[in-house]
Chains A and B, each alone.
Chain A
Amino acid sequence: MTLSTRYAAGSLLSVRDLSVTDVSSVLELAARLEKMEAAERARILSGRTVALLFYESSTRTRTSFELAAKSLGATTTLVSDKSSSIEKGESLKDTGLTLRALGAECIILRHPASGAPFVLARETGLPVLNAGDGMHEHPSQALLDLRTILTRLHGTQAAAGVTADSLKGVTVVITGDILHSRVARSNALLLPRLGARVILCGPEKLLPQEAAELGPGVEIERDFDRALRQSQVAMMLRIQKERLAGLELDLGDYIERYQLNGERLAATAPKALVMHPGPMIRGLEIAGDVADGTQSAIEEQVAHGLRVRSALLVRALDGNI
């Protein structure tokens, strides 16, 4: 599925919009940006305006996009519900049109409603970068996760481009609250396209059976240990206690069955790469020592985020480099 002409080129609403070639060129762009001198990088989007429209707070993603835009020399403007700069009751369409009228050339949107970026992109005609929409997707996160996996498993060189075989032989287990996770959806939809096998893991309430129908290359395994034994990458997801309460899930039981701790990791996947999109709850889905251990790539994920998001902005604004 390719991006329909109803959306501006350079939009990234879902990982499904990206062909393998698109993914490859984003990674290649990220690699080139990384090698560049800071001063040179700051000229790429100089004089350009990017709006960050955040209906949901997210320190990590917002800061990452903001720093990426600034490092490229763009002017950023943040509109968030927290700063109450979003007009109460105004529609997403009208807010988008206002930002466009004020000169925004690209909008980065974080929104609690699944699909909101599609509305914004359709109605404004601007390139829109989905920075997380409801329970749907978080495509830039999947791309930064991909870059992290490639760098760790195959080296920096391999992370500067991909083919449909780049992750052949690699199994990634994604564990936790898959139902509510946009990170899980984006990764499960993206990684198999590059040859990976994705195992989704978690209890029925957080991982309904229909998740197996997400796409080819996606399977479900309820037994975490069995899943880990097959995996080269373990991607852990945050568990929000309030959600567990609503689903009548026993927290102790969850930790027992699904927490990634040192003992479990050593026994089942002593070499696997450990990832977490953050923010994590140490002692719940992941043990502190594992998060800080040598197998963990959690901090690198953040660094890759900056590069991948820079590349997405350059792509969205068709920057000259």
Chain B
Amino acid sequence: MSDILIFGGRLIDPANHIDAPRDLLLRDGHVAAVEAPGALRGATAAETIDATGMIVAPGLIDVHVHLREPGQTYKETIATGTRAAAAGGFTSVVAMPNTVPVNDTVAKLEWMLDAARDPAIKLFAMPAATVGSMGAELTDFDALRTAGAVGFTDDGKPVLEDHVMRAALVAAARAEVPVSQHAEDTRLTGGCSMNAGAVAFRLGLRGMTVEAESRIVERDLQLLRDIEKKEGLRPHLHVQHVSTARAMQAIRAAKQEGLHVTCEVAPHHFTLMDEAIGDYDTHAKMNPPLRVEADRAAMVAALVDGTADCIATDHAPHAAHEKEQEFERAPNGITGLETALGLALRVLHRGQGLSLSRIVSLMSTTPAEIIRVAGRGALGRGHFADIVIFDAGAEWHYDAKTTLSKSHNTPFDGAAMLGKVKATISEGRIVYRG
């Protein structure tokens, strides 16, 4: 593998408390040297990247993506999805298990993680917490962990039964990985296609209440408490795509109490509100749904005060014909890998004054900690050469037609973005150039 020298950039590496000009030498897929500007002048490298005026940061990590393979490759494949991820500055993504068939065995997990799938970047996966994601019988956590699972989830739906979720948390605690929960009490959301409230009333659509989310979060937190007390274990609950102020408040309180809970917020939930549905725009249909301004503001506040641990896209590609339907029939989800950084910088950095270092932390350092992968999310010597180089001040507009994903289902077509990815390097290979 050829060496790469990156010079002239501003290195932001929150894990190592660095936000300063640094040059980097990458060798054999790893970081070989991080030095003051000019110190690597003598180094020979097959490739040099002039990062003058750019931010050099550990590659972004998305703990929540849907890559649709196996089973729905007309929407996305591991190859196309990871290329879209690379274009967004990501060097690692975690594939959710709601493929067809559901990723719930070692054989399926290994198939997914096989190099034959041709991922452009590092692919991780969270297999299903229950067989077939049916919510009844736990999958083999230990065997799956050994085969590479970085967590367990029935994403798309919650683990609803109390005793099953309890067992999942216990098994995950023993396997030392999180249970990642899609918090939705589906007993309360049948037939619902958006957030409950004034907009749903006007549009004549059945709405999901805030309680449908917060109830599951509160139930799961109670399980954590109970397991810590009775089993002497310390399970890690990761709450996916939090969308309501109420659930976020429950998580904030649980953190203060000392429970091991982390959570993610999706860019659309800190950017948009249910009004974005306009006249039944299915590109604004997702689950959890877009909420009201108070909830959006609460997501921003949580990202600012640290209650929200990371940003995750919930990248959910769907074919055009699936979205060109009646709102209630159209599938949930939007693509998100190519717009996440641009929205985070625009809304959180420029809009809220969140430092670039915090943004990198939310999109790389902390996600790496949540899925407990070593050597990523930081750029010390010996770490994987997973790097994103971006121009933090570049203003541009996203054009969905240019996507590297197979699907175009985004509410951000034409939206203003801040910060443009100039290069993405995965384990020492340049996988994207902007």
Contact = CB atoms under 8 A, between A and B. Distances in A.
Interface of A: 4, 13-14, 91-93, 111, 113-116, 118-119, 122-123, 133-137, 179, 182, 185, 189, 208, 210-211, 213-214
A95 to B, nearest CB: 12
Contacts of A208: 201
Interface of B: 197-198, 200-205, 279-280, 321, 324-329
A93 B202 CA distance: 24
A130 to B, nearest CB: 11
Contacts of B202: 185, 189, 213-214
Closest 4 pairs between A and B when the two form their complex, measured CB to CB? A115-B280, A135-B204, A136-B204, A213-B198
Contacts of B197: 210
Contact of A114 (B198, B321, B324, B327): B327
A13 B392 CA distance: 43
A214 B329 CA distance: 24
Given A134-B204, A185-B204, A113 B279 contact: no
B204 A137 contact: yes
Contacts of A116: 326
Contacts of A115: 203-205, 279-280, 326-328
Nearest to A208: B201
Contacts, number: 67
A92 B204 contact: no
A113 B326 contact: yes
A93 B327 contact: no
Residue among B205, B280, B328 with the most chain A CB within 10 A?
B280
A135 B204 CA distance: 4
Nearest to A113: B326
Contacts of B328: 113-115, 134
Given A92-B326, A211-B201, 18 more contacts: A93-B325, A113-B327, A113-B329, A114-B203, A114-B204, A114-B280, A115-B205, A116-B326, A118-B279, A119-B326, A135-B204, A179-B201, A189-B202, A208-B201, A210-B197, A210-B198, A213-B198, A213-B202
Given A114-B327, A133-B204, A91 B280 contact: no
Contacts of B200: 210
Contacts of B205: 114-115, 134-136
Residue among A122, A133, A210 with the most chain B CB within 10 A?
A210
A122 to B, nearest CB: 8
Contact of B280 (A119, A123, A182): A119
Nearest to B330: A119
Contact of B325 (A91, A114, A136): A91
B280 A118 contact: yes
A189 B203 CA distance: 12
Nearest to B206: A135
B203 A136 contact: yes
A239 to B, nearest CB: 18
Contacts of A210: 197-198, 200-201
23 contacts: A91-B325, A92-B326, A93-B324, A111-B326, A114-B205, A115-B204, A115-B279, A115-B327, A115-B328, A118-B279, A119-B280, A133-B204, A135-B204, A136-B203, A136-B204, A136-B205, A189-B202, A208-B201, A210-B197, A210-B198, A213-B202, A214-B198, A214-B202
